[in-house]
Amino acid sequence: MARYQKIKKISKQRFNSARETGMKIYLNGRLLDKSDAKISVFDHGLLYGDGVFEGIRSYNCLIFRLKDHIERLYNSAAAIMLESPLSKEGMVEAIVKTLKANKLKDAYIRVVITRGEGDLGLDPRKCKNPSIFIIADKIALYPEEFYKKGLEINTVPTRRNINEALSPQIKSLNYLNNIMAKLEAINCKVEEALMLTQDGYLCECSGDNIFLVKGSKLLTPQTSMGILAGITRAAIMDIAVKRNMAVSEAMLTRYDLFSADEVFLTGTAAEIIPVVKIDGRRINNGKPGNITLVLKEEFSKLTKIDGYRYSL
């Protein structure tokens, strides 16, 4: 009996430690249990949103377009004069190490570089050591029914940040512009917010880029409108060009949206998702379009071949 209890106790300990050590977080060179992965309340990433990040996907041990994500991360850092403690190669190694530690073949990877610990003033010179952390987790997509039926979105009153104030090309930790827009969408009981530019042109959603299909042509707002140059967006444009579709980056209006044949959104988390209603108005017949579905299929093929391979 005593022996049985002892075995039970040991296996319980094993279970607990397995659960506690469940998720490993990369933090400044170390892999830590989730509960031990902590940064200072004086970190300017937290105090001022002073930092940059990336959201990356891996599909069956292939990190989709990792090189492009790394480039964008280091461009964002350069734009805010933040020097990464890791080289680009070192960052790739750290990402792979995190995926391996968590035994993840399919994952959503969040890479964050913060300005680091400083004092209560804004001055970034007080922050001597930028922090890097990497979280690799399972991905939360929109519920499957939205991919089948399509999303309902709204244009919202909150305008996209202007390039001259804070370039939307910088993937910074300051996402309040996007969150304000998302709140406005949620308050109207729709899934996503489409932000316009100061002049009322179509810009982008809170975490996704937008595309329209008109005839056999694919249209999307140009980067100078103040959008994040999405990596999924670029992949879709590559696919369309390969399929001999006309693709154009343009200044688009709500008129273009309401007269489009198809509308869809692209993003690392959402991939490609059809939009069937905007501002309460049905797009075309209110059903996901054929070109959207073909592009979605082609994108899925690309995620099997276009990226950085690792093994567990």
Which pairing describes strands 209-214 and 202-205: parallel, antiparallel, or unpaired? unpaired
Window contacting ligand PXG (CB under 6 A); options: 13-21, 78-86, 146-154, 263-271: 263-271
Subset of residues 54 to 93 that bind ligand PXG, contact rule: CB under 6 A: 55
Window contacting ligand PXG (CB under 6 A); options: 19-27, 183-191, 203-211, 288-296: 203-211
| Interface with ligand PXG (CB under 6 A), residue from 231, 240, 276, 295 | 231
Cα–Cα distance, 29 to 245 (Å, whole number): 45
Which pairing describes strands 151-155 and 271-278: parallel, antiparallel, or unpaired? parallel
Q: E strand or H helix at 238, and its extent?
A: helix 231-242
Subset of residues 172 to 191 that bind ligand PXG, contact rule: CB under 6 A: 178
Window contacting ligand PXG (CB under 6 A); options: 84-92, 112-120, 205-213, 295-303: 205-213
Amino acid present at 238: D
Quick check: 267 binds ligand PXG (CB under 6 A)?
yes
Cα–Cα distance, 309 to 312 (Å, whole number): 10
Residue (of 59, 51, 87) closest to 268 by Cα position: 59
Window contacting ligand PXG (CB under 6 A); options: 18-26, 40-48, 223-231, 245-253: 223-231
Chain-centroid distance of CA 83 in Å reads 22
Quick check: 192 binds ligand PXG (CB under 6 A)?
no
Quick check: 232 binds ligand PXG (CB under 6 A)?
yes
Residue (of 51, 75, 27, 61) closest to 231 by Cα position: 75
Of 31 and 132, nearer to ligand PXG (C-beta) is 132
Quick check: 230 binds ligand PXG (CB under 6 A)?
yes
Chain-centroid distance of CA 2 in Å reads 53
Summarize as ranges the residues that interact with ligand PXG (CB under 6 A): 55, 178, 204, 207-209, 228, 230-233, 266-270
